[in-house]
Amino acid sequence: MFHPLLPNTADLTPAELENKINDLTKKYWIAARSGNGGLCNQILVALESYKFELQNKNLNNNKIPTRNGDADLDELININ
């Protein structure tokens, strides 16, 4: 679920996303301690959006480039 009032998360760097996640986590615990369940739910939706975008950025950064779209491991394994 994505929060409709969030800015475009694709424009943020991984470091900025981590800062937003840390900041919202602190705010979540403040709201939880004060008993504001509605605010906690809204913060959780925003947190999930930021975490999802950070996960996508990390997955895209860790992809192994392939030649000619061939994803097999034939050239990486030498059985001689």
Task: Indicate the average pLDDT of the chain.
Answer: 83
Q: How far apart are CA 31 and CA 40, in angstroms?
A: 6
**pLDDT band with cut points at 50, 70 and 90 for residue 60:** confident
Predicted pLDDT of residue 10: 85
Whole-structure pTM value: 0.71
What is the rounded distance in angstroms from the CA atom of residue 76 to the CA atom of residue 31?
51
Domain range annotation of the chain: 12-60
Q: Is the dihedral of CA 63, 67, 70, 74 positive or negative?
A: negative
**DSSP-assigned states of every residue in 27-69:** HHHHHHHHT-HHHHHHHHHHHHHHHHHHHHHHHHHTPPP-STT
- Per-residue pLDDT tens over the stretch 25-54: 999 999 999 999 999 999 999 999 999 999
